[in-house]
Amino acid sequence: MSKKKYLVTGVAGFIASQVSKQLLDQGERVVGVDNLSDYYDVRLKNWRLEQLKSHPHTKNFSFACLDIEDQAKLSDLFKAEGPFDAVLNLAARAGVRYSMENPHVYLSTNAEGTLNLLECMRDHGCKKLVLASTSSLYAGQKMPFTEDLAVNEPLSPYAATKKAGELMAYSYHKLYQVDVSVVRYFTVFGPAGRPDMSPYRFIKWIAEEETIQMFGDGSQSRDFTYVDDIARGTIAAIQDVGYEIINLGGGRNPVSLNTIISKLEELLGKKAMIDHKPFHVADLMETWADISKAKNLLGWEPQVSLDEGLEESVEWYFNNQNWLKEIIV
């Protein structure tokens, strides 16, 4: 049986690197692209890349330092490396608060970058797109969040540009028969996570006895989902679905940030110091995914519990603490 070949964008990112690892585990071929932006410390991205370059099936992996905003270079890549069985677009400008400071770069990557990929797919006959999206779109909606909710009132440029990407993909599905799976992620965590997100930053702050910077009183809750589970769901979404939006989340009762901190205090054997700041206007108080569609359509549900995931995250931090100490969160 011939190997499939996938283009994975944002390959040095937290989720895309794990998706690529699992595809390589399955013996598939992965062409990964990433612009290695300095939104956070590039050393973390390089570490993830090194894990892929040292994978037992590394001969099936190739990397190009490339920005999906550059349509000409993207087109050259499709010519040189294609054809691709599917494109998994996980490249994105992430972060709700930062999007309010730099909205233009979010539009360029999340909307125009997605359009560039869709144009290359149309030009080169690639008919399957898996598009990473976000639970941030569900602001103000009734929980648990279902995919059929109207999400037309985004609270941040980040959410607005992710919605734009979803809509652009829908138009290419209708016009050019591109099969699209939109996967909306819910608060992904795990080893080698983004340093601007909890629980990673909580682990670092508590371990190094620094003060946690908390927006709000910590009662805000999230549907935490372990990165390995998210990667499995993303790969499961490669199948033909037409056009579907699919939640990938824990599907459990949401857990407060205060509870996460308490669990980490126990794992780390240290007490957290917390500086409470005003709750941010663009943040959601609570997220909770209805994952019925993922179960029924993809045969997917999360396997790793919150406690197991936190233990793995803490262990990874200590195993890499010698250089992680220098990473600013």
Q: For the purposes of burial, counting CB atoms within 10 Å of the CB of 257, is it exposed (0-12), middle (13-18) or buried (19 or more)?
A: buried
The question of whether 158 is a catalytic residue gets the answer: yes
Give me the helices (H) in the chain, please. 14-25, 42-53, 71-81, 96-101, 103-106, 114-124, 157-176, 200-207, 227-236, 257-268, 292-293, 306-319, 321-324
Interatomic CA distance for residues 301 and 35, integer angstroms: 31
Interatomic CA distance for residues 8 and 165, integer angstroms: 16
Torsion of CA 243, 20, 107, 128, to 10 degrees: -30
| 3-class DSSP state of 312 | helix
Contact 133, 125 (CB under 8 A): no
Radius of gyration of the chain (CA): 19
Angle subtended by helix axes 157-176 and 114-124, to nearest 10: 20
The residue type found at 13 is G
Contact 61, 51 (CB under 8 A): no
Q: Which of 6, 98, 138, 158 is catalytic?
A: 158
Q: For the purposes of burial, counting CB atoms within 10 Å of the CB of 63, is it exposed (0-12), middle (13-18) or buried (19 or more)?
A: middle
| 3-class DSSP state of 40 | coil
* Extended strands (E) in 104-150: 128-134
Interatomic CA distance for residues 133 and 104, integer angstroms: 18
Strand-strand pairing, 5-9 and 86-89: parallel
Give the HSE-up count for residue 190: Cα atoms under 13 Å, Cβ half-sphere: 21
Q: Which residues are catalytic?
A: 158
